[in-house]
Amino acid sequence: MTDTQAKIAVVTGAGSGIGRAVAVELLRTGWSVALAGRRVETLEETAALVPGAPSIAVRTDVARPEDVAGLFGATVDRFGRLDLLFNNAGTFGPGGVPVEELPYDAWRHVVDTNLNGAFLCAQTAYRTMKEQSPQGGRIINNGSISAHAPRPHSVAYTATKHALTGLTKSLSLDGRPYRIAVGQIDIGNAATEMTRRMSTGVLQANGETAPEPMMDVAEVARTVRHMAELPLEANVQFATVLATAMPYIGRG
């Protein structure tokens, strides 16, 4: 921590994967955390991994403005302020579907979750941080290696992650007058339930299917905490954390 005052975080998508790992890392190091996700039971499982740590579980569909408003309202009601949003909730959508076959409803679902949901959470966090005293806070958006280079048949996911980079830059600029620091972490091949298939075989740019190296998701969590605990006068604008030997540098 940068001071002795407890820090308050909202973590979206906290019921599994990267969101769970980050929430647990924050809880075990003294943060109070609002856990957001679609299923309260998985959020409660996350909280139970750090018994006694201060947390609340808030059922949240980040694509619904009323759910997002309820999440941040519950956070401030319970903890008094907001110091960090880890804007993490996201979905790959239907995997391996060529662009010409992708249903519009599937495209909309990915955009609503990954981009619109990220905007709604960031907007509400921004308002909260601007209005509270002391003013300010930090937003960390979960981008992806796909914010830089796509995988085959990933048009919806890749488009939203490229857009998230623009959201990060714009929020970072607009937050300056209010001590709101905004950064982005781009993650490659962290071992979670969502990425398990990559260790057994995933389509490559040359048309072959091959397994890819993975890394422990705990490394992502530690990186997010480092970004989160910087003083607001310092910011990691973009961080890339990936399995060392994954096919990213030179992809394609």
Active site residue 157: yes
Q: Average of pLDDT values for 61-82?
A: 98
Q: Average of pLDDT values for 182-211?
A: 83
- Mean residue pLDDT of the chain comes to 93
* pLDDT tens track for 204-239: 888 888 888 888 999 999 999 999 999 999 999 999
pLDDT class of 3 with cuts at 50, 70, 90: very low
Instruction: Count other Cβ atoms within 10 Å, centred on residue 249.
Output: 8
Of residues 21 and 198, the one with the higher pLDDT is 21
Q: Could you tell me if 182 and 175 are in contact, meaning their C-beta atoms sit under 8 angstroms apart?
A: yes
Q: Quote the pTM value.
A: 0.92
pLDDT at 214: 87
* pLDDT tens track for 11-58: 999 999 999 999 999 999 999 999 999 999 999 999 999 999 999 999
Choosing from 126, 157, 178, 248, which is the catalytic residue? 157
* 53 Cβ neighbours under 8 A, 6+ residues apart: 27, 28, 32, 33, 47
Q: Could you tell me if 138 and 189 are in contact, meaning their C-beta atoms sit under 8 angstroms apart?
A: no
pLDDT at 4: 41
* pLDDT tens track for 103-143: 999 999 999 999 999 999 999 999 999 999 999 999 999 99
